[in-house]
Chains A and B, each alone.
Chain A
Amino acid sequence: MNHDYQKDIAGCGLAGLINKKKNPLSGSHIAKSMALMNDRGNGLGAGYAAYGIYPEFAELYAFHLMYDDHTSRMEVENHLKNNYHIEKTEEIPTRPVEGLGISPLLLRYFVCPLEDKVVGDMTEKEFVVNTVMKINSEMEGAYVFSSGKNMGAFKGVGNPKEIADFFLLEEYEGYIWTGHTRFPTNTPGWWGGAHPFTLLDWSIVHNGEISSYGINKRYLEMFGYKLTLLTDTEVVAYTLDLMIRKHGLDIPLACSALAPPFWKDIDKMPDAEKEVYTALRLAYGSAMLNGPFSLLFGHSGGLVGINDRIKLRPLVAAEHGDVTYMASEESAIREICPKPDKVWAPRAGDPVIVELEV
């Protein structure tokens, strides 16, 4: 077990929106909302996740990849060819943006695993996760931005507006969007290091500095996760993966494990509930995210916003018609929805869970 690592530290701003009726929204909304919070980042990383953007390939895994050079591209493509049916390969469309540094090669692939490769107890999802882990940890110069179905992550080193412009975000239409801007204090910008962090159809944007990182990392390692990015976001994503995909907890319970109720509140619960939350804390005590955070996680079924047990990072939510908004600042919501039906500040540790209705 490697302990001699240097953890990534960053402050941030985030925003997200979801239309629960799946009515598509252009990427220009989230871009505008994020642009308002420009000062929450320092231009060293911004990114977006979008759901529902590839309806014509909805049944295929959409791999967004970045490459430092052509050698890494060839290595990954060979690996993909041997293991996946590749429906389509294309460069991710971009436009030149003044002030943005040199971008890596950016490609996307619409794929499904070859049937004879997914053998034994392995599920298709596990197979895809393994591919992603392999590329990220073993293939020098290549990095998977996202790998879910009908979704994608767009991110890079720049401020939110630059990144949105670069990826022509306004041309995509999706029903869930999240956005993020970073303020890293100890890492040079790296395109792969920007948020969102994704795993299958999950995407996480996160603002915070998890003070329990040391034990969270060691806990996940016990279950075989390799933490290579050394970011809090990576920890969040793997913890959710463990609890929801592998252990079968539902989203509200997984949220309660991440930011559990205090013992004094558990003690007051009716017996059955007390038993549930006590067990949750006993089993997942080392997975608790302690310290300041607010995060949004998007998945194919909805959007969830949550912050820490004593709300040390901001999170505001609002509703307007079928759309729910969440952001670090209310101004970022009002920038794109001036007259919401309802605005509220979610309580510490209380998740805002929005599910798609169709």
Chain B
Amino acid sequence: MFKSLALPEYLATIDKEKCIRCKRCIQNCGWSVYSWGGDRVQIDTQKCVKCLRCYHYCPEEAIDILNNETRYKDNANWGFSHIRNIKRQAETGGMPLTGMGSDLPYTILFDHLLLDACQVTNPSIDPLREPMELRTYLGKKPAKIAIERDKNEKPSLKTKLGPQIKLDVPFIFSPMSFGSISLNAQKVLAYAAKENGIVMNTGEGGLHEDLFPYTDNIIVQVASGRFGVNPQYLNAGVAVEIKIGQGAKPGIGGHLPGEKIPLQVAKTRMIPVGSDALSPAPQHDIYSIEDLRQLIYALKEATGYKPISVKIATVHNVAAIVSGIVRAGADIVYLDGFRGGTGAAPNVIRDHMGIPIEYAVAAVDDRLRQEGIRNEASIIAAGGIRSCADAAKAIALGADAVGLGTTALITMGCTTCGKCYTGNCSWGITSQRPELTARLDPEVFGERLSNLIKAWSHELQEILGALGVNSVESLRGSRERLRGIGLDEQTLDILGVKPVGR
């Protein structure tokens, strides 16, 4: 073994005066940064990922995790991570992996959009005094409906409505599989989904029996690995999602290493313990749009016509692709933007492929309207929703609801350190090591996630009230209430919004 020449990113430091040698940092760190040296804690800072678990759990506030000030010589072209990645690749011959969404400074359009508010000519509405409706239904909507009246003038519906998922608020949790995240993390999602009348999504890892009590709030996913898929599974939730792609890694499959496949994961995925769980890049029965249509209808038949969602990564041609997906019969299209998170993806893919969600939602909503089929499917915008403001802007651009993945994990302790693929998450979120996952109490953190959804719901109500509308469908696609700041004409045109001042 040679010593790596890749510079450590962080310097874990312990104030020797303050330290009482309680060894909690040793216990808490999932990456074995700390070890006991007989009389003091030893630090292997090369392993530190700055997840900050130790920082929070040191009783004496003795720990500091500093950014390594030692950098390669300043070079505007050769950045720190370029040089560091080359060194790592030279040492290992592998693809550097990463977790979470891209952290590169591409333009974030959410930060260049401002919302409107009412003054004088139309009144704002006080959400504390007036009803403020956030309820959202996901699924196909009829373009028109037929209603008949009987001889007593009582109306009755003649049009048969397609199946709908009722959401109390327009947020859902993004698909995250058991395997990539821990069962406790899934339980946190399930608990909060139930509490708030929304849904979580199993991801591609099957449905663990502990989640059976929550199936009214669960979408089950069918991905290329087909893990855990059987008729009972397909019928367990409120809808089925076909995963075509993921924003952080469009066009590539998944690889859950055998170390992350203990008995429970293996049972749920219906694969042998310790075997690698490989999700092929494409679904091998979908090589074209007509194949997707067949799978959509096969799943509808298998589930007695539950809503079928199709999840894709937003790539250059997303509008045309979604038009095809809607025409193929999807009831919901889940758009996962470029900045969407992941448990594991090659750096090169995550940071350089796909397009951000803001453009994608705008382009898709426009295209579906031009083709007169916007009502045929609901649109979920996900991949980089960091706040209720982002959510409101995504809805104004045309989304029916937004998907929250990283946001949900942050409520569980995640600091977006990006090392999920190691399986060592000190917060017990993206790990299967029992001593780590036991830290994540589903109820305690379920409550926190629930709080977050409630907080964002209140914020969204405030936003609607300031906009002078009392129902979220009046914000959906209402781009007139957005203005772009510091955006060029073409970008404004793609977003369908005016610049500030107009």
Contacts and interface: CB of A to CB of B under 8 A. Distances in A.
A222 B366 CA distance: 10
A214 B480 contact: yes
A288 interface: yes
Interface stretch (A105-113, A273-281, A294-302): A273-281
B327 to A, nearest CB: 16
B146 interface: yes
Nearest to A243: B144
Most central of B149, B370, B468 by chain A CB within 10 Å: B468
B155 A283 contact: no
B474 A249 contact: no
Interface string A1-18: 101101101010000000
B161 A211 contact: no
B164 interface: yes
Nearest to A293: B122
B142 A282 contact: yes
B471 interface: yes
How many A residues are at the interface, by size bracket?
35 or more
A291 B149 contact: no
A213 B146 CA distance: 25
A341 B255 CA distance: 79
A248 B122 CA distance: 32
Which 9 A-B residue pairings sit nearest by Cβ, starting from the closest? A214-B480, A285-B473, A214-B478, A209-B122, A290-B474, A212-B474, A211-B468, A215-B478, A290-B469
11 contacts: A209-B121, A214-B480, A215-B477, A215-B480, A218-B369, A276-B147, A276-B155, A276-B156, A285-B141, A292-B123, A312-B123
B369 A221 contact: yes
A125 B473 CA distance: 32
A310 interface: yes
A64 interface: no
B332 to A, nearest CB: 14
A8 B325 CA distance: 38
A40 to B, nearest CB: 14
A7 B470 contact: no
A195 B454 CA distance: 44
Contact of A222 (B135, B374, B478, B480): B374
B143 interface: yes
A182 interface: no
Contacts of A247: 144-145
A6 B497 CA distance: 12
A247 B143 CA distance: 9
B122 A211 contact: yes
B84 interface: no
B130 interface: yes
B369 A1 contact: yes
B159 A279 contact: yes
B125 to A, nearest CB: 7
Contacts of B130: 310
B498 A310 contact: no
Contacts of B104: none
Contacts of B468: 209, 211, 290-292
Nearest to A213: B480
A119 interface: no
A133 B471 CA distance: 32
Contact of A4 (B146, B369, B498): B498
Contact of A283 (B122, B144, B497): B144
A286 B133 CA distance: 14
Contacts of A312: 123, 125
How many B residues are at the interface, by size bracket?
35 or more
A223 B370 CA distance: 9
A312 B118 CA distance: 13
Nearest to B396: A214
- Name the prevailing secondary structure of the B interface residues: loop
Interface in B117-159: 118, 121-123, 125, 130-131, 133, 135, 137, 141-147, 149, 154-157, 159
Given A3-B479, A283-B143, A211 B474 contact: yes
A3 B497 CA distance: 6
B481 A223 contact: no
B498 A3 contact: yes
Interface in B277-327: none
B372 A222 contact: yes
Contact of B481 (A185, A214, A246, A282): A214
Contacts of A253: 147, 155
A290 B471 contact: yes
B135 A282 contact: no
Contacts of B372: 222-223
A343 to B, nearest CB: 25
Interface in B452-502: 467-471, 473-481, 493, 496-498, 502
Contact of A288 (B141, B143, B471, B480): B471
B416 interface: no
Contacts of B268: none
Nearest to B160: A279
B133 to A, nearest CB: 6
A262 B467 contact: no
A250 interface: yes
Nearest to A264: B131
B35 interface: no
Nearest to A308: B470
Nearest to B168: A263
Given A221-B369, A286-B473, A291-B469, A276 B157 contact: yes
A218 B135 CA distance: 21
B375 interface: yes
A257 to B, nearest CB: 9
A20 interface: no
A309 interface: yes
B135 A263 contact: yes
A282 B470 contact: no
Given A263-B133, A279-B145, A280-B145, A291 B122 contact: yes
Contacts of B477: 214-215, 218-219, 286
A272 interface: yes
Contact of A215 (B137, B142, B366, B474): B474
A217 interface: yes
Interface in A232-255: 246-250, 253
Nearest to A185: B121
A235 to B, nearest CB: 12
A3 B480 CA distance: 7
Contacts of A209: 121-122, 468
Nearest to B481: A214
B118 A211 contact: yes
Nearest to B122: A209
Contacts of B480: 3, 7, 213-215, 217
A310 B144 contact: no
Contacts of B125: 310, 312
Given A279-B142, A279-B159, A291-B474, 16 more contacts: A1-B496, A3-B496, A9-B121, A212-B474, A218-B477, A247-B144, A248-B144, A248-B146, A272-B155, A273-B154, A275-B157, A276-B147, A280-B145, A290-B470, A292-B123, A310-B470
A288 B146 contact: no
